[in-house]
Structure 1
Amino acid sequence: MGHQYDFYIAATPEQLWEILTGPEGVRQIFFGCELRSTFQPGEDLAYVGPGNDGPETVHVYGTWLEWEPHHKFSYIEHPGPSYAPNHAELESRVTFTFEPAGSCTKMRLVNDQFTPGHPAMERSGESWWMILSNIKTLAETGKTLDFGW
């Protein structure tokens, strides 16, 4: 069980890659976070930024599975320690792919392989819609959405 989303975005795979992996794009899309990683399969990653534990809150951490620039990246993720006491036991897989489609790009996100009973299974379905809409808006307009927070 999991979630799959397909978005068609008026941007190149390279532009979307930069939004999702570059420092400025990550900060804008992932609520002020920084993606800390060597970007090598088998290596660790962490989204760190303002949150429950102050400015260095680990929101999500995990391990890269695949890293193919401008085409695909995939990782196993865990919620940060402040989100669940059993965070290390809770995991899911996140996979983004980018495929040219005419003058735009088909961006697919699959979030699957959830640990049975993972509390974020339902919540992630809602938050991904917001993040993906924000990616599309940023890529096409240069601005992010104001969610009223």
Structure 2
Amino acid sequence: MTTLTFDFYVRATPEKVWEALTDPALVPRWRFGMSFETDWQAGSPLVSRSPDGTGTVAESVPGRRLVYDWSQTDQPEANGGHPSTVSFDLGPMGEVTHLAVVHSDLDPDGLFLKVVRPGWPMLLSSLKSLLETGEPLPFRR
């Protein structure tokens, strides 16, 4: 299995970063339309739209750590037929939050890895822009 790790630094509090990660009004703005239906509590189911997927929230510590697994329902073979896991760790550094993102359990030969490897830096840059300027980056699909 392959694991991707990304470190970003955002001029925002961990609470504001958490809000951007979980607020149903903010998530689609930086995730290019993707939305989640969940209460973000550990053990809760998670359903995504655009792309459609399902998963489970594994850990949820507001302002500090969020972990979930996820599978794309219309293309389960894209990751070898099993879910991948995404974790977000938030750490305060004065006026800045260190955001560490780890995406693991990725099939090294899967189509999903080919999409998420370049996709995460775009998404996280858009998140950073949204929090620092009020606007996500205007990437086109």
Unaligned runs of 5+ in 1: 50-56
In structure 2, C-alpha distance between the alignment counterparts of 1:148 and 1:114, rounded to whole Å: 25
1:13-67 CA distance string (max 9 Å, x none): 0111111100221120122233101322222101214xxxxxxx61x32111101
Matches of 2:108 and 2:99 in 1, distance apart? 27
Which amino acid in structure 1 is aligned with residue 33 of structure 2? G
Matched-pair contact (CA < 8 Å) for 1:91–1:118:
no
1:38 and 1:32 map into 2 onto residues whose CA distance is 19
Q: Contact 1:65–1:76 (CA<8 Å) still a contact in 2?
A: yes
Task: Give the structure, 1 or 2, with the largest relative contact order (CA under 8 Å, sep 6 or more).
Answer: 2
Aligned identity (percent) is: 31
Q: Which residue of 2 aligns with 1:121?
A: 113
Secondary structure of 2:25's aligned partner: helix
**Please, what TM-score do these two structures have when normalized by structure 1?**
0.84
The number of residue pairs the alignment matches comes to 139
Runs of 4+ in structure 1 deviating by more than 4 angstroms, as ranges, are none
Structure 2 unmatched runs, 5+: none
The alignment's TM-score, normalised by the length of structure 2, stands at 0.89
> Alignment partner of 1:123: what SS?
helix
Is the Cα contact below 8 Å between 2:126 and 2:137 reproduced in 1? yes
CA drift of 1:123 comes to 1.8
Counterpart Cα distance in 1 of 2:71 and 2:136: 26
The aligned counterpart of 2:127 is 135
